[in-house]
Structure 1
Amino acid sequence: MLSAVARIFRTPDLRRKVLFTLAIIAIFRLGSFVPAPFVDFSNVRSCLASQSSSASGLYTLVNVLSGGALLQLSIFALGIMPYITSSIIVQLLRVVIPRFEVLYKEGQEGQARLTQYTRYLTIALGILQSTTLITVARSGALFGSGSSTNAACSSLISNTAWWATVLMVLTMTAGTGLIMWMGELITERGVGNGMSLLIFTAIAARFPQSIIAIGQAQSPEVAVVVVLIGVVIVGLVVYVEQSQRRIPVEYAKRMVGRRTYGGNNTYIPIKVNMAGVVPVIFASSLLYLPALIAQFNQPRDGSAPAPWVTWIQNYLTTGDHPLYMAMYFLLIVGFTYFYVAITFNPEEVADNMKKYGGFIPGIRAGRPTAEYLDYVLTRVTLPGSIYLGLLALIPLVAFVAIGANSNFPFGGASLLIIVGVGLETVKQIDSQLQQRHYEGLLR
């Protein structure tokens, strides 16, 4: 293994790509600690130090994906979340807007146009999300409903003038645009997918902090047990993420002039988890909406809130209630089927196979092939959706069992992203090493 790593730095082209990627990652992490204009960083640190384990439940996912920059109100506070959201929206709009589907099928030129639309939507979402974040920070509720009574948490922003707010919105939106540009630079001139690597970096940077927090809150022995359990969970996640159902496909031989084409055998890989981390993001976002609505309906005069606000705060704000866990699990299962149905079209796959003379042994081409693919996909997605739901519940169960912070590292969206991006990056480095040394990173 060490010799393979040494070969990476002995290869000039690969060394240049790796060092460029590391330099961009260093700039990304540095920007996560630079506060936005008119932010009282001392008060922010004071609120972070006194933050309860469930105080930031509303912003947990965004804070994790930003590497903790959200609650620090830094110039990179929004992280890569606006780009993720806009990418998902553009992908879903392919089903609603036929023009988007046409652009997707046009090849590289059409997909470049979709990428441009994604960039525009990212900036628009950055303006919207930064405005919401600043509004919540000014109200004193950024660190939870109970933080509004804390003097430090109520004065996170030193200047509340309209021009100061506009400057903060522009700074955070520009930070999102800069992150998007750095991610594209890594994709073009570095190693791996740039956006994914930046998310990987943001999540991995919080792992040591989370383990230390568990050790301080419980004991060093509990922290060691959590690490050992995390290693086992990572191994199981790698096993499931690499699992797939391979449907055999054969292509008939055909003569074109004097040449013979076709006649080869291949397969259609259907992964157990075809939806990735998207259902977890969808379910988290949907469950955050009631809490967000309740938060903006808190009475300012100190009177008792409305009964429906109290019910949402008791049952749908923190993840330690069984009703919240059950709804979270069921939403993930439902969104898994929904997203897989959008991204994998059995009829389109069957038509393409028929066009090029392919068929599944024992299944007629055309509609029977589409029905068979849908049959297999539906049954493979069931264990995949249950796996996603159980994995997303691990941080919530850990919070109830050992009182760990809600940013428990070994579970949920964070672990899925870490494992998925890690595997893809290692595979890319391995393939580039094999091109130059006939021996890769993996054996």
Structure 2
Amino acid sequence: MKSIENKTLVKRFTFTVLMILIFHLLGFITIPGINGKQLAKVANNQALQLLTMFSGGGLNSFSLMSMGLSGFINAQIVVQILQNGVDPKLTLWAKSGEVGRKKLDQFTRVVALIFSFVQSIGITAGINKLANNQFVMQASLWMYLVIGMLMTAGTFLGMWIADQITVKGLGNGTSVIISYGIISRLPQDLGNVVAQNTSHGHVNWVPLVVAGVITVVLGFIIAWFNSSEHRTPIQYATREVLTGKQSYLPLKLIVPGVIPIIFASSIFSISQTFLSFANSRQQATWYQVFNQFLSMNSITGMIIYCIFIVVFTYIYSSMQFDPEKVAENFTKQEAYIPGVVPGKPTAEYFKRLLNDLALPGSLFLVVISVTPMILSTFFMPDLQIGLTGSSMLIIVGTFTDIRSQVQGLRLKADYKGFLDTSYDFD
């Protein structure tokens, strides 16, 4: 069994690396008709830095993969909110099993197509404005349409690669690609931080050491919290306990994982993109108001960012773990929670449990994401670690998911004969 396990893991790991390599190589296919030198001049824009995270680094060279998975993520946000009781038809699909899930997937891709096309044109126009109309060489309607189509095609290639990683590789494909984008930028980001703290050939080590300590502490806290889980005891009415051990249903303290962070960051990246259209009207009152509310460098922006994280934590928790479906499966398996009546009371128990876990989980996500922003904005602006908490959480969450999948594959290999065979203990 060990050889089967190792072969499966090596195969999945190799496939994941291959898909990431393909994604990376596609990032070298640049969009025609743009001036790359002008892009470098506006690279420090907050909206572009956020979008770079979702593009896996493709926006650095304004390549075919510049949009990355941004349009798809935004489409998922909209569809998942609508199917959560807002739109009756989508809600019905969400409760219709495999058939409904396929319909939702198709609808999500249609929305992603629209979002990606509009957003790609918007990003191009925004960068062109930031670069004083020097970015797009021939700023005609046809050129913008061609750029929009190419970048949208890149988004769908990225979606396909993410799907392949999820099905045949290790981890969630979307999270893996986003983590790759973050990790690929680390050398450049570290170099920038060191350069900003170097004066006349002398390095100011104090802020660097502080940033390093904060990063290490955050890493340990995130890893510990990510691996923590709530275990609900389960008993079976007609099944003999063969091992003598108590059965549990494990539920992570952060049920949706890194998804709320990704969704909240994506919304801010889109808002910042559209604000960049009106860059020439920075003195206007409406621009300053919107920028205040939609900037991660302002108090109000941080508060709104926190609210998004909390809301998405509650919404996505209920979508990741369906209490009614779990209660129904318990009834079919003749399983029950000690002290809880099977059926509807079990579903209500899990609903209360989800709400109990969502509060500390969302607060943890808020603290981890916002603390580095506060430090970099108000105390150590030269460190520029505003996205460190979110980035670390995404990376740790991705590797935690991969570790859990590896453990599951090992368990399946160890008990292959038992799990694949039906036994009668009567």
What TM-score, normalized to structure 1? 0.78
**Aligned-partner residue type, residue 73 of structure 1:** F
**Aligned-partner residue type, residue 65 of structure 1:** F
**Aligned-partner residue type, residue 245 of structure 1:** H
Instruction: Describe the superposition over 1:197-249 as per-residue Cα deviations: whole angstroms up to 9, x where unpaired.
Output: 22221111112222221111124634354234322211211111111211212
Question: Is this contact kept in 1: 2:233–2:247, CA < 8 A?
Answer: yes
**Aligned-partner residue type, residue 397 of structure 1:** I
Instruction: Describe the superposition over 1:323-354 as per-residue Cα deviations: whole angstroms up to 9, x where unpaired.
Output: 33333323422432343345444344334434
> Structure 2 CA distance, aligned partners of 1:68 and 1:139?
22
> Structure 2 CA distance, aligned partners of 1:376 and 1:188?
30
Q: Quick one: structure 1 residues 205 and 407, their matched pair in 2 at CA, closer, same or farther if it must change by over 3 Å?
A: farther
- In the alignment, does 2:224 pair up with 1:239? yes
SS state at 1:421 partner:
helix
Q: Quick one: structure 1 residues 296 and 14, their matched pair in 2 at CA, closer, same or farther if it must change by over 3 Å?
A: closer
**Equivalent of 2:154, from 134, 157, 175?**
175
Cα offset, 1:31, TM superposition: 2.8
- In the alignment, does 2:402 pair up with 1:402? no
> Structure 2 CA distance, aligned partners of 1:273 and 1:188?
23
Aligned residues: CA RMSD: 3.6
Cα offset, 1:132, TM superposition: 1.1
**Aligned-partner residue type, residue 112 of structure 2:** T
**Equivalent of 2:74, from 85, 88, 91?**
85
Aligned to 2:212: 227
- Equivalent pairs counted in the alignment come to 404
> Structure 2 CA distance, aligned partners of 1:167 and 1:432?
44
Question: Is this contact kept in 2: 1:78–1:172, CA < 8 A?
Answer: yes
> Structure 2 CA distance, aligned partners of 1:159 and 1:345?
52
Aligned to 2:260: 279
Question: Is this contact kept in 2: 1:86–1:118, CA < 8 A?
Answer: yes
Aligned to 1:111: 101
What TM-score, normalized to structure 2? 0.81
Instruction: Describe the superposition over 1:160-191 as per-residue Cα deviations: whole angstroms up to 9, x where unpaired.
Output: 12222221111111111111222233344444
Aligned to 2:424: none
Question: Is this contact kept in 1: 2:125–2:277, CA < 8 A?
Answer: no
Question: Is this contact kept in 2: 1:214–1:405, CA < 8 A?
Answer: yes
Question: Is this contact kept in 2: 1:250–1:264, CA < 8 A?
Answer: no
Q: Which runs of 5+ in 1 are unaligned?
A: 1-6, 141-151, 439-443
Instruction: Describe the superposition over 1:267-294 as per-residue Cα deviations: whole angstroms up to 9, x where unpaired.
Output: 3333211132333344445556775665
Aligned to 1:330: 307
**Aligned-partner residue type, residue 226 of structure 1:** A
> Structure 2 CA distance, aligned partners of 1:101 and 1:237?
33
Instruction: Describe the superposition over 1:413-442 as per-residue Cα deviations: whole angstroms up to 9, x where unpaired.
Output: x2222112112223434555677799xxxx
**Equivalent of 2:195, from 216, 219, 226?**
216
> Structure 2 CA distance, aligned partners of 1:121 and 1:73?
23
> Structure 2 CA distance, aligned partners of 1:294 and 1:83?
21
> Structure 2 CA distance, aligned partners of 1:86 and 1:290?
15
Q: Quick one: structure 1 residues 409 and 228, their matched pair in 2 at CA, closer, same or farther if it must change by over 3 Å?
A: farther
**Aligned-partner residue type, residue 104 of structure 2:** L
Cα offset, 1:260, TM superposition: 12
Cα offset, 1:130, TM superposition: 0.8
- In the alignment, does 2:49 pair up with 1:70? no
Aligned to 2:125: 135
> Structure 2 CA distance, aligned partners of 1:47 and 1:291?
14
Aligned to 2:358: 381
Question: Counterparts in 2 of 1:349-388, with a 5 A limit?
Answer: 349-388=326-365
Aligned to 1:160: 139
Question: Is this contact kept in 1: 2:295–2:302, CA < 8 A?
Answer: no
- In the alignment, does 2:305 pair up with 1:316? no
> Structure 2 CA distance, aligned partners of 1:135 and 1:432?
47
Aligned to 2:34: 39
- In the alignment, does 2:196 pair up with 1:206? no
> Structure 2 CA distance, aligned partners of 1:427 and 1:341?
21
Q: Quick one: structure 1 residues 131 and 294, their matched pair in 2 at CA, closer, same or farther if it must change by over 3 Å?
A: closer
Aligned to 1:149: none
Question: Is this contact kept in 2: 1:332–1:385, CA < 8 A?
Answer: yes
Q: Quick one: structure 1 residues 22 and 364, their matched pair in 2 at CA, closer, same or farther if it must change by over 3 Å?
A: closer
Question: Is this contact kept in 1: 2:369–2:387, CA < 8 A?
Answer: no
**Aligned-partner residue type, residue 398 of structure 2:** V
Question: Is this contact kept in 1: 2:39–2:127, CA < 8 A?
Answer: no
Cα offset, 1:385, TM superposition: 1.3
Aligned to 2:421: none
Q: Which runs of 5+ in 2 are unaligned?
A: 198-202, 416-426
Aligned to 2:389: 411
**Aligned-partner residue type, residue 72 of structure 2:** Y
> Structure 1 CA distance, aligned partners of 2:188 and 2:396?
19
Instruction: Describe the superposition over 1:73-118 as per-residue Cα deviations: whole angstroms up to 9, x where unpaired.
Output: 2211101122222233333343345554555555555534433333
Cα offset, 1:384, TM superposition: 0.9
SS state at 1:74 partner:
coil
> Structure 2 CA distance, aligned partners of 1:181 and 1:293?
27
Instruction: Describe the superposition over 1:104-144 as per-residue Cα deviations: whole angstroms up to 9, x where unpaired.
Output: 5555555344333333332222112112112212222xxxx
**Aligned-partner residue type, residue 40 of structure 1:** N
Question: Counterparts in 2 of 1:291-302, with a 5 A limit?
Answer: 295-297=276-278
Question: Is this contact kept in 2: 1:275–1:336, CA < 8 A?
Answer: yes
Aligned to 2:418: none
Aligned to 1:268: 249
> Structure 2 CA distance, aligned partners of 1:291 and 1:121?
20
